[in-house]
């Protein structure tokens, strides 16, 4: 009996040790594996541009592949859903934005809660949009844009990168604040919207600075105003909408790095360290700033607090403005 008991104890200890070892392995950073960063928009826009700049530096630092996977659709909800259901081992990450994290949950019923089912790593970049129009409209100021919209209610159209995006909400807010009616045209990504704007199929676009910069310089587009509270360095000579007669107007883009919620904390902390290192690298900062993207690294808790605050703010705006998905 004593020998049998001793054998049972030894077997139990071995099983427990094995389980502990497997748990320890599950906590390890995925060194040597391919890392995928999922972007919920088509290639070519600010989300894609910023992620590819950062992914290249991450790959160099880690000595392993870091690839960007574009999964556009449903205002980036499809990408978020994919990451929520991905293996929580640190190999699949997401570039989350204001739409799927802070806006869409208040516009439609989702099968997941982004604040609960996605774990914060760090903020990547933040920046305002810029309202641009073709020269054919013969306007250069926000006051002229509003006057034109009032003259032809429901005739002008504006593009965004999807329902619930910062660009969409900027248009909704201006419509409410200025008392104008402009038709919203959502796109799956910034490049498609820009093509239609340049082709004369839409009249206005709340574009990212990176997408609009060359067209503004080449005078193919006219910049009217930016959507943040302060002027970005890349457009320091352009007034904000807040400065143009609508105080406190603010609709800012932000792109944050997230992981499946069950990803072990040690892996999330390591990813925070790696991303912050990249975002504070001078060459990376210069590359991002050249595209009008402001690097904004922060702690995991700071990002969690920021996302919760944004969600609460836009929930109120959506309710007060009666914004709905058609």
Residue labelled with tokens 């910034």 = 190
pLDDT above 80 for 11 = no
Structure tokens of 39? Answer: 């972007």
Same domain, 122 and 154: no
Same domain, 280 and 215: no
Q: 203 with 134: CB under 8 angstroms?
A: yes
* CA gyration radius, the chain: 23
Count up the domains in the chain and report the number: 2
Same domain, 135 and 189: yes
pLDDT above 50 for 158 = yes
Same domain, 140 and 225: yes
Does residue 169 belong to any structural domain of this protein? yes
Same domain, 264 and 236: no
- The predicted pLDDT at position 70 comes to 94
Give the span between the Cα atoms of 14 and 229, in whole angstroms: 61
- The predicted pLDDT at position 12 comes to 46
Same domain, 238 and 275: no
- The predicted pLDDT at position 4 comes to 46
pLDDT above 60 for 10 = no
pLDDT above 70 for 87 = yes
Same domain, 136 and 121: no
Mean pLDDT calculated for residue range 61-65: 97
Same domain, 134 and 222: yes
Residue labelled with tokens 């600010």 = 46
User: Which among 244, 270, 289 is the end of a domain?
Assistant: 244
Mean pLDDT calculated for residue range 72-78: 87
User: Which among 244, 272, 291 is the end of a domain?
Assistant: 244
pLDDT above 50 for 5 = no
Q: Around Cβ 290, how many Cβ atoms within 10 Å?
A: 12
Same domain, 284 and 146: no
Can you give the CATH number for the domain in which 304 is found? Answer: 3.40.190.150
Burial of 159 (0-12, 13-18, 19+ CB in 10 A): buried
User: What is the residue range of 122's domain?
Assistant: 35-126+253-321
- The predicted pLDDT at position 162 comes to 79
Q: 102 with 311: CB under 8 angstroms?
A: yes
Please state the pTM of the whole predicted model. 0.78
Mean pLDDT calculated for residue range 67-87: 93
pLDDT above 50 for 290 = yes
Mean pLDDT calculated for residue range 117-145: 96
User: Which among 188, 222, 244 is the end of a domain?
Assistant: 244
Give the span between the Cα atoms of 160 and 98, in whole angstroms: 13
Does residue 221 belong to any structural domain of this protein? yes
Instruction: Decide which of 148 and 9 is more confident.
Output: 148
Does residue 18 belong to any structural domain of this protein? no
- The predicted pLDDT at position 85 comes to 97
Does residue 65 belong to any structural domain of this protein? yes
Same domain, 118 and 174: no
SS3 assignment for 265-320: HHHHHHHHHHHHHHHCCHHHHHHHHHCCCEECCCCHHHHHHHHHHHHHHHHHHHHH
Q: 45 with 191: CB under 8 angstroms?
A: yes
Does residue 14 belong to any structural domain of this protein? no
126, 216, 299, 313 from 97: Cα distances, Å: 10, 25, 17, 15
- The predicted pLDDT at position 1 comes to 41
- The predicted pLDDT at position 165 comes to 81
Does residue 229 belong to any structural domain of this protein? yes
Mean pLDDT calculated for residue range 175-204: 91
Mean pLDDT calculated for residue range 88-114: 94
Give the span between the Cα atoms of 198 and 193, in whole angstroms: 9
Does residue 29 belong to any structural domain of this protein? no
Mean pLDDT calculated for residue range 80-109: 95
Contacts of 95 (CB under 8 A, 6+ apart): 37, 38, 39, 40, 47, 50, 51, 124, 255, 256, 257, 258
Same domain, 117 and 265: yes
Can you give the CATH number for the domain in which 160 is found? Answer: 3.40.190.10
| 13-42 pLDDT tens trace | 444 444 444 444 457 999 999 999 999 988
pLDDT above 90 for 323 = no
Does residue 2 belong to any structural domain of this protein? no
- The predicted pLDDT at position 326 comes to 64
CA atoms in the 13 A half-sphere facing the CB of 140: 2
Cα 304 versus chain centre, distance: 14
Same domain, 169 and 191: yes
């Amino acid at each position: 009996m004593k020998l049998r008991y001793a054998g049972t104890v030894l077997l139990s200890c071995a099983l427990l040790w094995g389980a502990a070892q497997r748990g320890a392995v599950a906590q390890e950073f995925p060194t040597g594996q391919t890392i995928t960063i999922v972007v919920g928009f088509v290639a070519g826009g600010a989300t894609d541009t910023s992620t590819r700049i950062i992914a290249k530096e991450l790959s160099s630092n880690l000595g392993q592949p870091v690839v960007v996977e574009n999964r556009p659709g449903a205002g980036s909800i499809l990408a978020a859903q994919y990451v929520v259901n991905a293996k929580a081992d640190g190999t699949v990450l997401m570039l989350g934005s204001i739409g799927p994290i802070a806006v869409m949950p208040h516009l439609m019923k989702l099968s997941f809660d982004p604040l609960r089912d996605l774990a914060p790593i760090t903020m990547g970049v933040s920046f305002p949009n810029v309202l641009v129009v073709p020269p054919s409209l013969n306007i250069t100021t926000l006051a002229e844009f509003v006057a034109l919209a009032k003259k032809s209610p429901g005739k002008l159209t504006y593009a965004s990168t999807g329902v619930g995006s910062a660009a969409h909400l900027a248009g909704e807010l201006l419509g409410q604040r200025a008392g104008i009616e402009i038709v919203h045209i959502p796109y799956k990504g910034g490049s498609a919207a820009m093509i239609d704007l340049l082709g004369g199929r839409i009249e206005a676009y709340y574009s990212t600075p990176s997408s609009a910069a060359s067209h503004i310089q080449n005078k193919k587009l006219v910049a009217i105003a930016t959507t943040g509270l302060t002027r970005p360095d890349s457009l320091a000579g352009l007034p904000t909408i807040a400065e143009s007669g609508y105080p406190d107007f603010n609709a800012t883009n932000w792109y944050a790095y997230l992981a499946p919620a069950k990803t072990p904390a040690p892996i999330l902390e390591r990813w925070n360290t790696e991303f912050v290192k990249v975002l504070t690298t001078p060459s990376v900062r210069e590359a991002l700033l050249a595209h009008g993207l402001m690097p904004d690294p922060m702690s995991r808790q700071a990002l969690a607090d920021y996302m919760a605050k944004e969600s609460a703010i836009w929930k109120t705006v959506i309710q007060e403005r009666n914004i709905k998905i058609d």
